């Protein structure tokens, strides 16, 4: 790999320096996330990405404590179905979704009739319907900017949907839904759509955010991927050609990209902006298709962003679970 142009960025920052410089941080999870973010950024700057052995060592060294915390609180993460960047890993993300749904049910099952779950970027709405079935006492609202996929799913089910489920057409980049959700959940929102959903959860006063992020290469309006001769890389480059064409078509305005989430919006967290730059985060995004370290960098910045807004956050393998501190 060629020398990294960001090798000198924030060179004075090390995990050991973060705690004394961030004494206002209220949560152990936030401190751990900042340390992991700083450590993984150093791995990126030194070119220790993409190669499987380097990825495994880097993730274990810097994010291992966060994974252990997750596994202690939420046993059952499907580690065997989460191999490093592969078609198998992409296909088996359904197992991570099932694990996440178990956590959502565990946390919301005791809620009363005032409990409202909102699933933005729902696409077909099948995850929301599944949750509505498992949580009959919870009001479940699925939203998406494009209702066609949900309409196809509803037709496939012959209109037989849970009584506590509803679909509302809405743009997560400019949400108009007039409810205060108890929980905001999503399962694979692409790039900046994840950030729009997280910011919606913060602004709406949600108590919980539980999600799986996706397509980290598309943050900041990016549609470029460092080309490598493997099948996953080719697939994402094809996807990004489609996204780029959609972005240039007026009728698809707001589908995956937003002027609120340009490169300058990253890093999202205040602490992240002390550790890195927008240019470096876009370089991370371009490498994220083939690097778990790069995807974790983007997600850990999101974790710190949530913590800065009053949430206790847990993280493991593209899954985030955040609970607003009372």
For 15-26, the pLDDT digits (tens) are: 444 444 444 444
Q: Sign of the C-alpha dihedral, residues 27, 104, 108, 156?
A: positive
Provide the whole-model pTM.
0.91
Domain that holds residue 75: 27-324
In a domain, 69, yes or no: yes
For 303-315, the pLDDT digits (tens) are: 999 999 999 999 9
In a domain, 2, yes or no: no
In a domain, 7, yes or no: no
For 64-105, the pLDDT digits (tens) are: 999 999 999 999 999 876 656 666 667 778 899 999 999 999
Instruction: Count how many domains the chain has.
Output: 1
In a domain, 1, yes or no: no
In a domain, 91, yes or no: yes
* 312 phi/psi in degrees, rounded to 5: -90, 130
In a domain, 93, yes or no: yes
Q: What is the H or E stretch that residue 279 is in? A: helix 278-287
Q: Of 265, 202, 198, 274, whose CA–CA distance to 22 is shortest?
A: 274
For 97-139, the pLDDT digits (tens) are: 999 999 999 999 987 668 999 999 999 999 999 999 999 999 9
In a domain, 14, yes or no: no
- Residue with the two structure tokens 């995004």: 285
Per-residue confidence (pLDDT) for residue 83, from 0 to 100: 55
Q: Can you tell me the distance from the alpha carbon of 291 to that of 299, in angstroms, rounded to the nearest whole number?
A: 13
Higher pLDDT, 238 or 31: 238
Query: CATH number, domain at 280?
Result: 3.40.50.150
Q: Is 173 exposed, middle or buried (0-12, 13-18, 19+ CB in 10 A)?
A: buried
Q: Coil, helix or strand for 215?
A: coil
Q: How high does pLDDT run on average in the chain?
A: 90
Per-residue confidence (pLDDT) for residue 92, from 0 to 100: 75
Per-residue confidence (pLDDT) for residue 38, from 0 to 100: 98
Per-residue confidence (pLDDT) for residue 88, from 0 to 100: 67
In a domain, 317, yes or no: yes
Per-residue confidence (pLDDT) for residue 86, from 0 to 100: 65
């Amino acid at each position: 790999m060629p020398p990294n142009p960001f090798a000198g960025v924030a060179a004075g920052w090390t995990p050991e320096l973060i705690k004394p410089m961030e004494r206002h941080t209220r949560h152990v999870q936030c401190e751990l996330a900042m340390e992991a973010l700083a450590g993984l950024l150093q791995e990126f700057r030194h070119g220790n990405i993409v190669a499987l052995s380097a990825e495994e060592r880097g993730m274990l060294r810097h994010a291992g404590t966060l994974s252990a915390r997750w596994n202690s609180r939420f046993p059952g993460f499907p580690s065997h179905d989460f191999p490093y960047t592969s078609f198998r890993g992409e296909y088996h993300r359904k197992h991570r979704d099932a694990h996440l749904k178990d956590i959502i049910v565990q946390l919301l099952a005791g809620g009363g009739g005032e409990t409202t779950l909102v699933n933005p970027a729902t696409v077909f709405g099948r995850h929301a319907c599944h949750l509505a079935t498992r949580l009959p006492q919870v009001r479940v609202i699925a939203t998406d900017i494009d209702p066609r996929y949900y309409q196809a799913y509803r037709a496939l089910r012959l209109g037989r949907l849970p009584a506590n489920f509803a679909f509302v057409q809405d743009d997560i980049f400019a949400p108009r839904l007039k409810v205060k959700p108890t929980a905001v959940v999503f399962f694979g929102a692409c790039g900046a759509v994840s950030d729009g959903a997280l910011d919606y959860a913060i602004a709406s006063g949600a108590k919980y955010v539980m999600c799986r992020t996706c397509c980290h290469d598309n943050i900041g309006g990016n549609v470029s991927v460092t080309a490598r001769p493997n099948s996953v890389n080719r697939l994402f480059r094809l996807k990004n050609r489609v996204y780029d064409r959609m972005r240039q078509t007026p009728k698809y305005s707001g589908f995956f990209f937003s002027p609120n989430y340009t490169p300058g919006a990253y890093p999202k967290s205040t602490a992240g902006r002390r550790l890195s730059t927008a240019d470096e985060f876009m370089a991370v995004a371009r490498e994220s298709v083939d690097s778990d370290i790069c995807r974790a960098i983007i997600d850990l910045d999101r974790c710190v962003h949530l913590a800065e807004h009053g949430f206790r956050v847990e993280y493991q393998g593209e899954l985030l679970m955040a609970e607003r501190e009372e």
